[in-house]
């Protein structure tokens, strides 16, 4: 007979394997380079990363935050569930002449000791871990007392949050216990996750202006080909061409409804920037 605990462990492993496969599909390093490069420098600056800091980038992808952090002279570890993304990051780091460590790891069970890092960062990364409280507990656990935690996450009301809302009726149901990623873009949600273990919290909603696409349909087709979370939704509709066409139309219309460009498509993507300091008297969470 299989124990309940064993069943839960197997289910979690299967879930994480699906997540790894999802992010390995498409070409996330291309998307990060095309659309998100400024967010890495912004988060590094907001947290005051400097030479001598020991820094962890959680759900680092191809190093959009980790590489700018390494440029400061900090000692940096880029950790991600999907090591298939590391080759692009290593190539970029080599081209920029910076060194950092690349480490496979689950944001909900980070392979690091308590209080190991001066700064713990994540940019539109940890928000995709399915169990929010477990991920938040890990962010706090590996940060030293007095260390800094910095996060950038898409808001529910912003463009990417609304893209997920548009795809939801067409997507397979989420696994039991999983929470929607854009909740990490609500300050009250993140503060509840971090609880009384942090102080000196700052939150600010900002916009990333994206002008990479000529037409709304170009955005949609790019995300269908490149973005991990979009790809499996369309794969699930491969035998439902009418529903796939309906999703095509809705995604293009979403872009059109947010477009403020003239002659090309310009859309603002809202995100939440949050910084905090881990309290010095925080008791480590049990693992």
Fold of 11-209+271-278: Rossmann fold (3.40.50)
Query: Is residue 226 within 8 Å of residue 28, measured between CB atoms?
Result: yes
φ, ψ at 147 (rounded to 5°): -80, 170
Task: Give the β-pairing of 143-154 and 265-278.
Answer: antiparallel
Q: Which two tokens stand for residue 136?
A: 């938040």
Burial-class residue 26 by CB neighbours within 10 Å (0-12, 13-18, 19+).
Answer: buried
Q: What DSSP letter does each residue of 121-171 carry, written as one string?
A: EEESSGGGSS-HHHHHHHHHHHEEEEEEEEEEEE-SSSHHHHHHHHHGGGS
Q: Which residues of 163-184 are buried (b: 16+ CB within 10 A; e: fewer)?
A: bbeebeebbeeeeeeebbbbbb
The residues spanned by each domain of the chain are: 11-209+271-278
CA nearest 158: which of 179, 186, 178, 128?
A: 186
3-state SS of 163-221 is HHHHHHHHCCCCCCCCCCHHHHHCHHHHHHHHHHHEEEEEEEEEEEEEEEECCHHHHHH
CA dist 220 and 74 (Å) reads 38
CA dist 165 and 162 (Å) reads 5
Q: What is the pTM of this model?
A: 0.94
Query: In angstroms, how far apart are the furthest CA atoms of the chain?
Result: 64
User: Residue-wise pLDDT tens for the chain (287 aa)?
Assistant: 456 567 778 888 899 999 999 999 999 999 999 999 999 999 999 999 999 999 999 999 999 999 999 999 999 999 999 999 999 999 999 999 999 999 999 999 999 999 999 999 999 999 999 999 999 999 999 999 999 999 999 999 999 999 999 999 999 998 888 999 999 999 999 999 999 999 999 999 999 999 999 999 999 999 999 999 999 999 999 999 999 999 999 999 999 999 998 889 999 999 999 999 999 886 655 55
């Amino acid at each position: 007979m299989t124990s309940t605990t064993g069943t839960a462990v197997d289910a979690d492993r299967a879930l994480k394997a699906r997540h790894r496969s999802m992010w390995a599909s498409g070409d996330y390093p291309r998307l990060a380079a095309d659309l998100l490069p400024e967010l890495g420098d912004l988060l590094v600056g907001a947290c005051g990363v400097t030479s001598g800091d020991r820094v962890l980038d959680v759900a680092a992808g191809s190093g959009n935050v980790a590489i700018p952090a390494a440029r400061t002279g900090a000692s940096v570890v880029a950790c991600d569930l999907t090591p298939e993304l590391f080759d692009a990051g290593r190539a970029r780091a080599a081209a920029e002449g910076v060194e950092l460590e690349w480490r496979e790891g689950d944001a909900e069970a980070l392979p690091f000791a308590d209080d190991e890092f001066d700064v713990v960062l994540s940019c539109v990364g940890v928000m995709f871990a399915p169990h929010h409280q477990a991920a938040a507990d890990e962010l706090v656990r590996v940060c030293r007392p007095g260390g800094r935690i910095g996060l950038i996450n898409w808001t529910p009301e912003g463009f990417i949050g609304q893209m997920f809302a548009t795809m939801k009726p067409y997507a397979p149901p989420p696994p039991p216990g999983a929470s929607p990623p854009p909740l990490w873009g609500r300050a009250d949600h993140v503060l509840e996750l971090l609880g009384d273990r942090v102080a000196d919290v700052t939150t600010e909603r900002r916009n990333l202006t994206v002008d990479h696409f000529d037409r709304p349909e170009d955005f949609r087709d790019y995300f269908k080909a490149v973005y991990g979370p979009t790809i499996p939704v369309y794969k699930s509709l491969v035998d439902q061409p009418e529903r796939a066409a309906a999703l095509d139309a809705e995604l293009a219309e979403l872009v059109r409804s947010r477009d403020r460009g003239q002659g090309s498509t310009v859309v603002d993507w809202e995100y939440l920037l949050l910084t905090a300091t881990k309290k010095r008297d925080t008791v480590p969470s049990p693992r």
